[in-house]
């Protein structure tokens, strides 16, 4: 019985180890952009993210200063892009909203929800 419990505990530990990961990327926003209600000026940002299952905690930094943070969904996409991509939506009023971050050679992306879905 003890051996079965050890294997089960090992299996659970491996499951959690494979679903949690972190990363950081650099992105450039060509226009002022909102992300879940937070405004980001045009410019370069370091994006740090921690993924746990299907949820990502995402932090936008300029230099060492955090300028925005939010949660997002990790979603599967049809095909892996060849390069990192920032997907935005241009509203009719001229504003821009960040929708998704796609990373080179990965079939998953970080998708941001509506403005009411969170943010700090």
Q: What pLDDT, on the 0 to 100 scale, is given for residue 11?
A: 43
Q: Between β-strands 108-111 and 65-76, what pairing exists: parallel, antiparallel or unpaired?
A: antiparallel
Distance (Å, whole) CA 46 – CA 91: 25
Domains of the chain: which residue ranges?
21-117
Is pLDDT larger for residue 114 or for residue 6?
114
Distance (Å, whole) CA 53 – CA 61: 23
Q: What pLDDT, on the 0 to 100 scale, is given for residue 91?
A: 87
Tell me the residue length of the chain: 120
* pTM of the predicted protein model: 0.75
Q: Is the pLDDT of residue 119 over 90?
A: no
- Cα 58 to Cα 2, 15, 70, 91, 118: the distances in Å are 40, 22, 5, 23, 11
Give 17-56 pLDDT, tens digit per residue: 445 678 899 999 999 999 988 999 999 999 999 999 999 9
């Amino acid at each position: 019985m003890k051996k079965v419990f050890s294997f089960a505990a090992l299996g659970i530990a491996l499951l959690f180890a494979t679903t949690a990961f972190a990363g950081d990327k650099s992105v450039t926003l060509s226009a002022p952009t909102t992300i879940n209600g937070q405004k980001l000026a045009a410019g370069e940002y370091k994006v740090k993210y921690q993924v746990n299952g299907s949820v990502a905690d995402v932090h936008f930094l300029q230099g060492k200063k955090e300028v925005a943070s939010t949660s997002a969904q990790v979603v599967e996409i049809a095909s892996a892009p060849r390069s990192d991509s920032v997907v935005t939506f241009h509203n009719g009023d001229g504003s821009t909203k960040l929708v998704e971050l796609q990373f080179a050679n990965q079939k998953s992306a970080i998708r941001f929800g509506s403005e009411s879905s969170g943010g700090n």
